[in-house]
Structure 1
């Protein structure tokens, strides 16, 4: 019932993607909204408890976890929707023997990014709890976003990827320990005054700390030459950088950005130096929408001898996008999981090692890594031992 009520406010989600063909065979995509369409909803049950499910997610190999997620989310395939365009959203609710339940969501990225779909699911939760309407008024401004969300640098990066050699990757669970994250954030968060005292400085975010660890450790594991470029590509929520986009916009508003340095500097430098490289890159995000974009494109093209496997790491974070705040009436989300093979862009999947940062667990930051280098995990353990022992 709450899902149907939410679709009244978010009616484009019940539509279908369509395209206006022009004489040259191109055209603009749009969402076709009619009363005959809707979303796919599946009700299921599983003979297991939430505790047993968590145990699989925490302790079992990634293949076993992926098998579980496949059963908890609607398995949409390209042939779904033979009678017409496929739905933009599939929802499966699986009740467990303990009384808990899992909400599996599969959606088209043409409809929304992670922030947008989290906003919608939050609205479903609010209506399920009895609120008369969603607390956030949904806004659809695709015409404004389309002219800004793919700036020249992001487009250049997308055009750069096809030139990389293809990869055959498998996904593994990696945990960046809480002790290491806290050490990085605490170390940079205090600075010595001239008189020997200490005061607080700018706080390092969990994303910056984890990204620095992943980038440094993976570069150590695969580095062929200290002079070769090391590139960290990460996803950015562009909402606050776009002119005219109102609060409540739930479309696709994500873009790509990157931090770049020599492999030797990333692999052998102090972890705090790697953090600063990432922080400076984040400070340059607004340049994508201004005169600095051309300079960033030149910097990308100047990165010679870039190998997709040894040089690039793609990182996307599901932390703090709103999925962890969803509450259907029995408390906030206990766990966020993903089935990466279903959601990856085929271009990224074939050319670039990928890491997904998910919700944190007690042990630390949980990361699903698309890589097949065992040394990656060993480097994380070694880095944790070195820094937390000091």
Structure 2
């Protein structure tokens, strides 16, 4: 069966009222080279009546308080800034000649090219757009919102806050429930770190394989109860699920017992800067924490031991973040290049995407659309699609020869 998507009426959505002009500074976290990439995602809804028209108007209203989003990135004095030009967000309306059921509700792997449901970039004369959006309506009445956003403007929580405002405008609110605040200048630049010598790292491509696994809420609660019973302490869903993924992967890839197997994830540092950051801050504000242990130790470690390592790293956040800000090279989270021993984890389950309701119900499915990266093993945490409860893991983290074992071990968690 062939599928066709017709894209019509591409345009720039500008703020509905006049907004401030001028340049705004980005923080050093926004300007990190690791932040300059587009984050692509799809948000799938089972029903909507002329959603493109509703969202187009809501975007225009949301861009009044969030006016920097309608601007453009610009260089000033050798540093990246946001020029508040009010030129707008690139918006595409589209229609599909098939139903969501025909393409399995756009579950991954996609049954249609991602280019069909994500907005294409505007013409060459429209550059440095911060956000792009496409709303595609299906024959069944469902729709998908495809978003491309530049991470330099903010992380998942920041874009989640912006999209929550879009939803609020769509549902008739006159102002956001939380007013956005810029505040990037409140984050001081760190002391200049000591430069590490040596040649640049050489990255070897890996034949990484994709796997999606749903971890039921009942199983997660059993693991959390087990941890509480053995330690007298509580732990989070993220802690126990990450512990299991980390161990399953370590057992599957079977590195030398003395080789380190690592997991890395972004930990929010907003609470550490609460005295200087304004309410409504939506910029990047995190530190990549890495948890490491020898392969041999992870092979037979208990749940309590695995979770304990993760919680110990999380508890050290204040210390390592302070050292990083002071310029300590040992606290530089990017000092060790990625290799097969590292798993990079992104938690999308709590950034607000799954709760966005334009008036027809919450999304049935939210997912990142990630190009194949042969240089880094990755794992995304999402909410399991309705009616399931729990966590959906999207992994691209083991090579073909280890995939069978990893798949078998992970499906035991389902």
Bucket of the pairwise TM-score, normalised by the shorter protein:
0.7 to 0.9
The 3 A distance-change label for structure 1 pair 216 and 160 is farther
Q: Deviations over 1:283-303 (max 9, x none)?
A: 1111123258889954889x9
Return the match for 1:7 from 54, 58, 63: 63
Runs of 4+ residues over 6 Å off in structure 1: 150-153, 292-296
What is the rounded CA distance, in whole Å, between the counterparts of 1:160 and 1:341 in structure 2? 30
For 1:200-219, list aligned pairs within 5 A: 201-219=232-250
Q: How far did residue 319 of structure 1 move? A: 0.8
Q: How far did residue 239 of structure 1 move? A: 1.7
Return the match for 1:46 from 73, 96, 104: 96
Return the match for 1:367 from 393, 404, 408: 393
Return the match for 2:137 from 87, 91, 95: 95
TM-score under structure 2 normalisation? 0.75
What is the rounded CA distance, in whole Å, between the counterparts of 2:307 and 2:192 in structure 1? 25
Native 8 Å contact 1:287 1:293 kept in 2:
no
Q: How far did residue 132 of structure 1 move? A: 0.8
**Equivalent in the alignment of 1:323:** 353
Q: How far did residue 203 of structure 1 move? A: 2.7
The 3 A distance-change label for structure 1 pair 277 and 293 is farther
Native 8 Å contact 1:69 1:337 kept in 2:
no
The 3 A distance-change label for structure 1 pair 368 and 160 is farther
Q: How far did residue 265 of structure 1 move? A: 1.5
Tell whether 2:282 aligns with 1:250: yes
Native 8 Å contact 2:103 2:110 kept in 1:
no
What is the rounded CA distance, in whole Å, between the counterparts of 1:251 and 1:166 in structure 2? 32
Gaps of 5+ in 1: 22-26, 193-200, 343-348, 386-390
What is the rounded CA distance, in whole Å, between the counterparts of 2:136 and 2:110 in structure 1? 18
For 1:1-390, list aligned pairs within 5 A: 1-21=57-77, 27-35=78-86, 37-57=87-107, 62-64=108-110, 67=112, 69-76=114-121, 80-145=122-187, 147=189, 163=201, 165-170=203-208, 172-178=210-216, 179-191=218-230, 201-242=232-273, 243-291=275-323, 298=330, 308-341=338-371, 349=373, 351-361=375-385, 362=388, 364-371=390-397, 372=399, 373-374=402-403, 375-382=405-412, 384=413
Native 8 Å contact 1:164 1:351 kept in 2:
no
Native 8 Å contact 1:167 1:309 kept in 2:
no
Relative to structure 2, which stretch is displaced further, 133-142 or 306-315?
A: 306-315
**Equivalent in the alignment of 2:26:** none
Q: Deviations over 1:224-269 (max 9, x none)?
A: 2111112111112222222411221112223311111111112221
SS at match of 1:190: helix
Native 8 Å contact 2:227 2:303 kept in 1:
no
What is the rounded CA distance, in whole Å, between the counterparts of 1:112 and 1:97 in structure 2? 34
Q: Deviations over 1:314-356 (max 9, x none)?
A: 11110111111212111223221111128xxxxxx45321111
The 3 A distance-change label for structure 1 pair 146 and 173 is farther
Native 8 Å contact 1:360 1:366 kept in 2:
yes
Q: Deviations over 1:344-376 (max 9, x none)?
A: xxxxx4532111112224274222212333122
Native 8 Å contact 2:73 2:130 kept in 1:
yes
Relative to structure 2, which stretch is displaced further, 356-365 or 202-211?
A: 356-365
**Equivalent in the alignment of 1:197:** none
Q: How far did residue 152 of structure 1 move? A: 6.5
What is the rounded CA distance, in whole Å, between the counterparts of 2:237 and 2:142 in structure 1? 30
Q: Deviations over 1:50-105 (max 9, x none)?
A: 44444551xxxx4435x4544222134xxx55225231110111112222221111
What is the rounded CA distance, in whole Å, between the counterparts of 1:364 and 1:49 in structure 2? 27
The 3 A distance-change label for structure 1 pair 144 and 318 is same
Q: How far did residue 161 of structure 1 move? A: 12
Higher strand share: 2
Native 8 Å contact 1:169 1:370 kept in 2:
no
CA RMSD of aligned residues (A): 3.2
